[in-house]
Every structure is written in structure tokens, then in C-alpha cells.
């Protein structure tokens, strides 16, 4: 069993930075000289924004990606010096702060381009921008048909420095996906336009799925995130098979009682004991982001064995039926991750909730402390 640090809070998210570095190393070897951008939006997929930003910088990454101004500001205030790219559309009234905090922004309209230009002139600073092109996601980005014109406009703006051009894949999770191939073809057709000839731009397209399955589209930089945290897409190439999660959700048994047969457990008595049994309480609940939908469905690990969560999960606590197992107050409980030879994989929890691992990771809030090991 792991020698967990003893945080003040009875439950914690444990992030294994050693595993994170191993994941970075594996992906680094896989992508070769291509630049490596790690999107750390949504609190670095629940792993903790500041700590992961600093860990990424220490691990030699080239770029970080964020979704919002505030995420970029927090990284800068934590001392991160890597280039930070704000992915997606930017809000007009935040432009001066993007520039002040030295954040690179995505531009996908002439209107925003001009706002960026007038803000950087006013501040007397250069703003580095990436032209975002929509090749089929239908989210943000200028259409390829207008990208050339917008690029020519951006190039001529004073104090705006165009450093990159990128797009985003909608269906890259399986190898050979025809729509992903069509997006790659559209991106390359655009880049063949003479306006880009000889212009040193960082060309980037690939999220995790793209990075794993479409190495021909790595170009100058890739932007994988979920797989850097240890969750590669299905059918990932052998070179990426060593990726492993660095996230665990852990707690400790806080209470123990013996319950007779026929007793209802927790709110609404959605579970009734069929025999005399031992019920333990674990101080994790939906108030931490551990979904109530997992009531009477998920299992946890205690002393290296699986036991079922019984009854409705409460805001701060949940109950586990340990049968006649010898379980004591203070025993470590693993809700997501490994304990001994057993594992509750994140994907199992996501499947029980009818969602994807991304959403489960993001929903853990600030009440549970992050503890960094390795
Ligand atoms: C979030 C995001 C990524 C990373 O996606 P993963 O599927 O986690 O690899 C890459 N690019 C953009 C534009 C994103 O928004």
C-alpha cells in the first residue's frame, strides 16, 4: 500500500508527478523534434493548474494551452515562464490583460484582430497571436476560405506578431478516421497558399487522438492533454502503451458500524442490508465532485479488495458494505486508482456515470486538496 502523505483533509487527490514525467518522456520520444504544448485548462484536467503548469515547465515542455484569461494569469502568477496560448475565442474586454500577462491569443476574425492591434498599440507592447482555422469542428476559427485574407491583414498590423496557425480535429480518436483525414487535407491545402510561403509559423493541429493516430499531421507542434495525464486513446500505437494515469482519488475510513439484516442505508434507504454486515463511512461525497449517480453502483478499494458503495452518496460522505472483512477506521480507501494489485480505473467510473474520463476529472472541485508525490 502506498505511503501516502497525511494531509489535513481526510480525502485527497494524489497526483504522481513521477508518472507525469514518464508520460511526458514517452510522448516526447514519440513526437521527436515536434514542439510539445500541454493544454492545462479546467484546472489541468483536475490535477491542479499551478502545480501542473510548473511541473510541465520543469519537464521541458514547450508551450501551455489554456481556455480562459484567468487560467493564464494564475500560471503567470505561479511563476510559469513558458509561452501560453489561449485556445478558442477571446473576449474583447480582456484583451489588455492578455497582453499584460504575455499570453498568446487565438484570432479568428478581423474584428478581434483589430481590437488586439489597437490594444497593443495603446500599451506599447507586442502581442503574439495564432490564427485559428476551422477545418470542420464548427466551433471557433475562421473558415479556410477567409484565412488567407485574415492572415494578410494580421501580418500588416503593427505590433501584432503572427506566430502560429492552427486547427482542431473533431474525430481523431480512432486511427484512420476519414473525417480527421479530410481535416488534415483541408489544413494542408490552406498552408500551400503562397501567402504562407517562407513565413515561419508554428503549424499545429493534433490533440491526443491526433497525436497518437495521425503522426503525419504533427507539423511543428502537437497539443495532447488527456494522454499526457495517462489516458491514451483506444488503439494507440505500441510506443504509447506505457502511458499510465497519475491521478488517484483517496480517502480514509472515518467510521465503522455493524448493521443488522433488513436495515436501510443512507437517504431514501435505497439499499437494504440482506444480512448482518459491516458498514463503513468514507468522507467523500458529491460536494467534492464524486458523483451521486455512482450510488449503489461504484466500488472502492480497501485493504487491496473491492467493496460496493451502498445507499445514496451524500454531499460529504458515502457508505461502503465491507461484509465481514477486517476493516478499521483510518484504513486507506481508493475511489479512483490503484491499491495493491487492484485498480478502480477512471474509465470504469466514467462509464458508470454515462460520460467520458475528461468530465469526471474536471468536476473535482477545490474542496479536495491535491497532494503531489514523486
Ligand atoms: C483541450 C484541447 C486540446 C487537448 O485535447 P485532448 O483531447 O485532451 O488531448 C487540444 N487542442 C485544443 C484546441 C483543445 O481545446
Atom 15 of ligand 1, nearest CA residue = 87
Cα 159 to ligand 1 centroid, rounded to whole Å: 28
Angle at CA of residue 276, ends 304 and 335, nearest 5° = 30
Please report the DSSP string for 29-86 in residue order.
HHHTTSEEEEE-HHHHHTT-HHHHHHHHHHTT-SEEEESSHHHHHHHHHTT--S-EEE
Residues 6+ apart with CB under 8 A from 198: none
Superfamily of domain 247-373: Lyase, Ornithine Decarboxylase; Chain A, domain 1 (2.40.37.10)
170: cell is 473533431
Q: Is the Cβ atom of 223 under 6 angstroms away from ligand 1?
A: yes
Q: Which ligand 1 atom is nearest residue 227's CA? A: 9
Q: Which ligand 1 atom is nearest residue 223's CA? A: 10
Average pLDDT over residues 91-109: 97
- The string of pLDDT tens digits covering residues 27-45 is 999 999 999 999 999 999 9
Cα 155 to ligand 1 centroid, rounded to whole Å: 27
Residues 6+ apart with CB under 8 A from 144: 133, 134, 135, 186, 187, 189, 190
Residue 117 CB neighbour total at 10 angstroms: 21
3: cell is 505511503
Q: Do domains 33-238 and 247-373 have the same CATH topology?
A: no
114: cell is 483589430
- The string of pLDDT tens digits covering residues 140-194 is 999 999 999 999 999 999 999 999 999 999 999 999 999 999 999 999 999 999 9
Cell 476559427 found at: 141
Q: Which ligand 1 atom is nearest residue 168's CA? A: 13
Q: Is the Cβ atom of 228 under 6 angstroms away from ligand 1?
A: no
Q: What is the pTM of this model?
A: 0.96
Domain spans of the chain, in order of start: 33-238, 247-373
The correct answer on CATH 3.40.50.720 for the domain covering 33-238 is: no
What does the alpha-carbon distance between residue 36 and residue 224 come to, in Å, rounded to a whole number?
8
341: cell is 494489485
Cα 230 to ligand 1 centroid, rounded to whole Å: 14
45: cell is 484536467
Q: Is the Cβ atom of 226 under 6 angstroms away from ligand 1?
A: yes
Amino acid at each position: 500500500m502506498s505511503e501516502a502523505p497525511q494531509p489535513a483533509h481526510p480525502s485527497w487527490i494524489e497526483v504522481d508527478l513521477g508518472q507525469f514525467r514518464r508520460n511526458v518522456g514517452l510522448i516526447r520520444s514519440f513526437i521527436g523534434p515536434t514542439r510539445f504544448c500541454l493544454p492545462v485548462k479546467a484546472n489541468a484536467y483536475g490535477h491542479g493548474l499551478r502545480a501542473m503548469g510548473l511541473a510541465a515547465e520543469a519537464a521541458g515542455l514547450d508551450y501551455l494551452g489554456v481556455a480562459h484569461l484567468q487560467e493564464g494569469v494564475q500560471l503567470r502568477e505561479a511563476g510559469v515562464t513558458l509561452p501560453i496560448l489561449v485556445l478558442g475565442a477571446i473576449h474583447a474586454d480582456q484583451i489588455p490583460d492578455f497582453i499584460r500577462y504575455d499570453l498568446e491569443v487565438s484570432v479568428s476574425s478581423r474584428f478581434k484582430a483589430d481590437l488586439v492591434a489597437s490594444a497593443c498599440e495603446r500599451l506599447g507592447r507586442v502581442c503574439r497571436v495564432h490564427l485559428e482555422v476551422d477545418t470542420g469542428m464548427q466551433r471557433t476559427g475562421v473558415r479556410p476560405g477567409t484565412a488567407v485574407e485574415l492572415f494578410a491583414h494580421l501580418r500588416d498590423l503593427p505590433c501584432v506578431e503572427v506566430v502560429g496557425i492552427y486547427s482542431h480535429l473533431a474525430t481523431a480518436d480512432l486511427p484512420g478516421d476519414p473525417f480527421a483525414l479530410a481535416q488534415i487535407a483541408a489544413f494542408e491545402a490552406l498552408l500551400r497558399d503562397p501567402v504562407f510561403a517562407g513565413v515561419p509559423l508554428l503549424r499545429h493541429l493534433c490533440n491526443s487522438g491526433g497525436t497518437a493516430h495521425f503522426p503525419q499531421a504533427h507539423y511543428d507542434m502537437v497539443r495532447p492533454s488527456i494522454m499526457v495525464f495517462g489516458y491514451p486513446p483506444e488503439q494507440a500505437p505500441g510506443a504509447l502503451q506505457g502511458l499510465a494515469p497519475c491521478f488517484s482519488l483517496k480517502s480514509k475510513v472515518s467510521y465503522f458500524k455493524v448493521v443488522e439484516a433488513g436495515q436501510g442505508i443512507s437517504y431514501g434507504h435505497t439499499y437494504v442490508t440482506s444480512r448482518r454486515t459491516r458498514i463503513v463511512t468514507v468522507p467523500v461525497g458529491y460536494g467534492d465532485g464524486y458523483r451521486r449517480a455512482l450510488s449503489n453502483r461504484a466500488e472502492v478499494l480497501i485493504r487491496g479488495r473491492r467493496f460496493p458503495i451502498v445507499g445514496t452518496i451524500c454531499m460529504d460522505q458515502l457508505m461502503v458494505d465491507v461484509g465481514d472483512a477486517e476493516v478499521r477506521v483510518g484504513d486507506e480507501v481508493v475511489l479512483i486508482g490503484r491499491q495493491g494489485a487492484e485498480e478502480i480505473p477512471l474509465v470504469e467510473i466514467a462509464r458508470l456515470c454515462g460520460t467520458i474520463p475528461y468530465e469526471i476529472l474536471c468536476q473535482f472541485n477545490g474542496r479536495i486538496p491535491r497532494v503531489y508525490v514523486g
